[in-house]
Amino acid sequence: MTGRGEPPEGPPENPSGNEDEYRSLVFDESFVRAARLQEFSAQERMGDHARAVRSLPGRGGARRHRSRAGIALVMLIALAFAAAVYIGFRNPYPTPVGRRAEPLRTTVVPLAPRSPVPGGTAESLLADGPAAGHRTGAAGINLPPVRRTENFSDSQVTIALVTVKDYLVGSSLDPDVLTAGVVRPVGRLLDPDQTAQFDRSVDSPTDDGEHSATGWLVRFDPAEVELADADIRVQGTLSYTEAGADTLEVVSDHTFTYALRPAVSGPHRADGASLFTVRRVLHFLLDREDIRLHRLEVRSAYVQAGPQSCSADTTGALRPLLAGERADTRGPTGTDPYATGVPGAALCGTLAVSSPPQGPPQGPPQGPHAARSPRNRPQRP
């Protein structure tokens, strides 16, 4: 035979490559009659078949995991906050005691010369006078050996002493403070409780023992005198002790020697200078907050300054007697013992010039009684 036999009905109407893929399938008439179509209802399809929309696998578990993690984070934050509060109440370091600074008490004593004030050149007066062995400027304000106390570390003591030295430099050596009326280098170091008293003292000074500008700083009237030499000689001591578990007391006792001349226009005489001496004994208190903020409280100021006349008003500025001038014969103003209010410090002393010291003078000793060491009291005229 040459090929496949064709069916009795003849060749297929749509032959495809001489082969029919359904050639092997044969359905007899009984099979076709028995076949019938069945369509499920919607209820049947919903009951036996899976949902058309399903959650992605694992999404519900991740949401539950995130919820648990959030609760754990909130619990951790709450525990940390509770621990911080507990540690704050259990702080082993002493809590600073709230203490208000007291008003400054001042005593300013003019020192009157017995004879005319000697004059000369500023260089010769400083080199040959009683301050010849003193150091110049801030170099004359030396810190004592620093040792920790019962309640303050050595670093805290050092900071307290440095703060006091900055105050002494600003209030006794700054040329702008001495003759230009500047007060900021002094005021910025004060405890805020003393700021109002300080401002009133420099703006409206009065002789009431609390509002004398010359108790806070050394000041001259620029219309009367000026510095003849920028070198200011300084000699003195610093001491410290505890005034309580939370307070350091620092005592400074320094003598400042200035070369002055009249403040006049035009050329000055070379030999027209004279010396003016100010001794300041200051008591300072510094608590822990003061030490941390680099500030202090000036508790008391005892000042001797001359040459001046006993009748000079020294509340706002010192009134030096210059070369060739003599003190007037008037004494200090009288004080009424029956008057009310704070009594005025009607004191005056006699200026006695000593020879240049051979060595550094002995200052007040360190210890609990350093602030009560004997002082050279001014002589009554």
Task: For 329-355, write each residue's pLDDT tens digit.
Answer: 776 655 555 555 545 546 888 887 654
**268 and 162 in contact (C-beta within 8 Å)?**
no
Q: Where are the beta strands (DSSP E) in the chain?
A: 105-112, 135-136, 225-227, 233-244, 247-262, 274-287, 297-306, 349-350
Q: What is the pLDDT of residue 154?
A: 95
**133 and 357 in contact (C-beta within 8 Å)?**
yes
**pLDDT per position as a tens digit, 294-319:** 999 999 999 999 999 999 999 999 99
**125 and 229 in contact (C-beta within 8 Å)?**
no
Q: What is the pLDDT of residue 271?
A: 85
Say yes or no to pLDDT of 25 above 90: no
Say yes or no to pLDDT of 49 above 80: no
Say yes or no to pLDDT of 181 above 60: yes
Which amino acid is residue 349, in one-letter code?
Answer: G
- pTM of the model as a whole: 0.68
Q: By CB neighbour count within 10 A (0-12 exposed, 13-18 middle, 19+ buried), where does 50 fall?
A: exposed
Q: Which residue has the higher pLDDT, 272 or 15?
A: 272
Note if the bond before 94 is cis, omega within 30 degrees. Answer: no
Q: By CB neighbour count within 10 A (0-12 exposed, 13-18 middle, 19+ buried), where does 263 fall?
A: middle
Give the Cβ contact number of residue 97 at 10 Å: 12
Q: Which residue has the higher pLDDT, 336 or 282?
A: 282
Give the Cβ contact number of residue 312 at 10 Å: 23
Q: What is the largest CA-CA distance in the chain?
A: 168
**236 and 141 in contact (C-beta within 8 Å)?**
yes
Q: What is the pLDDT of residue 376?
A: 37
Q: What is the pLDDT of residue 228?
A: 95
Spell out the residues 6+ positions from residue 234 whose beta carbon is closer than 8 angstroms to its own. Answer: 134, 135, 136, 137, 138, 139, 140, 141, 172, 173, 254, 255, 256, 257
Q: What is the pLDDT of residue 85?
A: 72
**241 and 370 in contact (C-beta within 8 Å)?**
yes
Provide the β-strand partners of residue 282. 252, 301
pLDDT (mean) for 212-225: 96
Q: What Cα–Cα distance (Å) separates residue 364 from each residue in 76, 157, 348? A: 59, 18, 23
Can you tell me whether residue 258 is helix, strand or coil?
A: strand
pLDDT-above-90 percentage for the chain: 57
**pLDDT per position as a tens digit, 230-276:** 999 999 999 999 998 999 999 999 999 999 999 987 677 888 999 99
